[in-house]
Structure formats: C-alpha cells, structure tokens
Amino acid sequence: MEAETRLKELSTFLTNKRASLSPEAVGLPLGGQRRRVIGLRREEVAMLAGVSTSWYTRFEQGKNIQLSVDTVRAIANVLQLTPEENNYLLSLAVHYQYEAVAPTQPATTHKHKDVHKVVQAISDYPVLVTDRYLNIVDWNDAATRLLIDFQQLKVTERNLIDVIFTKRAIRRLALNWTELATQFVAIFKGNYGKYTADPQYGIFIQALEAKSETFKKMWHANTINRDPDLQLIFNLPGIGSVAYQLTSLETTDVGSEYRLSIFVPIVSES
C-alpha cells in the first residue's frame, strides 16, 4: 500500500470509529449543550488517550507524524477497538513492522502440495483454499457441487471476494448473502491491513469498487474480523435450505499463508 493510500485509509478508519462512539460510552458527561458532531470530538479522544488535541488531529487527518506503538494502543483503547481492529490500526499506523515481507512473494510449491493433500482428504465437506488476497487456489469436489465450478472460471476471476459480489449463482444460493459478503469483506480487510506495503490490494479494491457499489459500501463500513463465527444458509436445488458452519484454518508461513474455509453442515438435534 502506498503511503498516501495507507494514510487516507487510516484517516477514514479513525474518523468512522470516533463517530461511532457516544460520550456516555467512554464515561463522559453529555452536558446541557447540543453537540454539533456525531460521536466523540477529537479533543475528547485526545484527552482520554493522553495526547494533545493538535497531535491527535494531525494523526486522524493522516499526516505522516512520529508516533509510538503505546500511543496508538492508547487511542485504540479510547475508541474501544476489537483486537482485530486494534491490529488493523497498528498495521496502518506503524506500518514499518510489516514492510519487511515481500509483497509479491509467492507461496512455495511444496507447501501448496501439502495443503492440496489435506483438501482432497476432506471429502465429506466442501473446502476452499485461499491465499492472502482471497484468491481461490484450491478446492475439492464437494465445493464444486455446493458452490460453482471454479475450474470454469479464468484464473484471474478465481477470487472469493470477486465471486461473492459478481456471480449471480452465489447470490441465488446464499439465503443470507449479505452476512456472507459482510464477513468475507471483514476477513479481506484484516488481510489488507496486515500487508501495508502490498500494492496488489489497492489495485483489486479499486477494480471491484468500480464493478460493485455494494462492495464499495461494505468496504468503507470498516468491519474487520479475520475469524468470524459465520453460519451460512444455502438454498440447494431439490433439497431446500441447508445450514453450514464456516470453519477456518490457516497456515502460518510468512509469505505463503493459506486459509482453508470448510463448510460443515449443521445437523439439527431432534
């Protein structure tokens, strides 16, 4: 992510989070005067975080200023960020920690073969394997039967976010499509914040925003969650609605991370 883009995203994220909090939520009195701003004022965030208003204002405006991890964490505490949101803010603000990772470093062939063996061994449940961009790099036959035939897509179209927002078959299949889309955007945003030096994210986001206004709105909602508790309800032809629990596993090698998304049918106890 280029510095200008990163700082713009930082500004948007902080502004939205500040606007989402009321004075009462952070223990401040409302007072008798009518407030002209939605949420907290900048000076209120600054006071609670123990920094000057001028410093916080420059920080929120995306100015490239000197800061410390402790200061960023203090602001995160004031804004009541979740652990995922906290990590996202740190990755945007203290970006040098992540720039050592080569942004275009490919996954190793050996690791992919190992993951492929695992995927093919899980024959009962649909499994998708995605990389850090949520490109679909592997899947099993059960995933093809449940979702779509990924083999029929061009390699450049095999991206889970793109598939969710551009393939009508997925919208028809998922009865709770909005929840599905929201949660996978949240996963993608978590990945995006982790690799602040990688320009491929910006290129993809800009292209998909041009194709999908819904994606654009969800993206700017700033929901971040790399491990959502997600239940999916699919309308299967000839069967009807079937619920699945999304179970995710991740490999940990830097530069070759894979996410295994396993769709486990929910069996009702009767």
Q: Are 91 and 23 in contact (CB under 8 A)?
A: no
DSSP 247: E
pLDDT in tens, 168-202: 999 999 999 999 999 999 999 988 877 766 788 88
Residue 260: C-alpha distances to residues 50, 137, 139, 229, 241 (Å):
42, 10, 9, 15, 24
Share of the chain above pLDDT 70, in %: 88
Q: Are 246 and 225 in contact (CB under 8 A)?
A: no
pLDDT in tens, 71-82: 999 999 999 998
- Specify the pLDDT at position 102: 42
Ordered by where they begin, the domains of the chain are 3-97 (1.10.260.40), 109-265 (3.30.450.180)
Q: Give the number of other CB atoms < 10 A from CB of residue 177.
A: 18
Q: Are 197 and 99 in contact (CB under 8 A)?
A: yes
pLDDT in tens, 87-102: 888 888 876 444 434 4
Paired tokens of 163: 């598939």
Query: Rounded to whole angstroms, how far apart are CA atoms 261 and 259?
Result: 6
pLDDT in tens, 120-163: 999 999 999 999 899 999 999 999 999 999 999 999 999 999 99
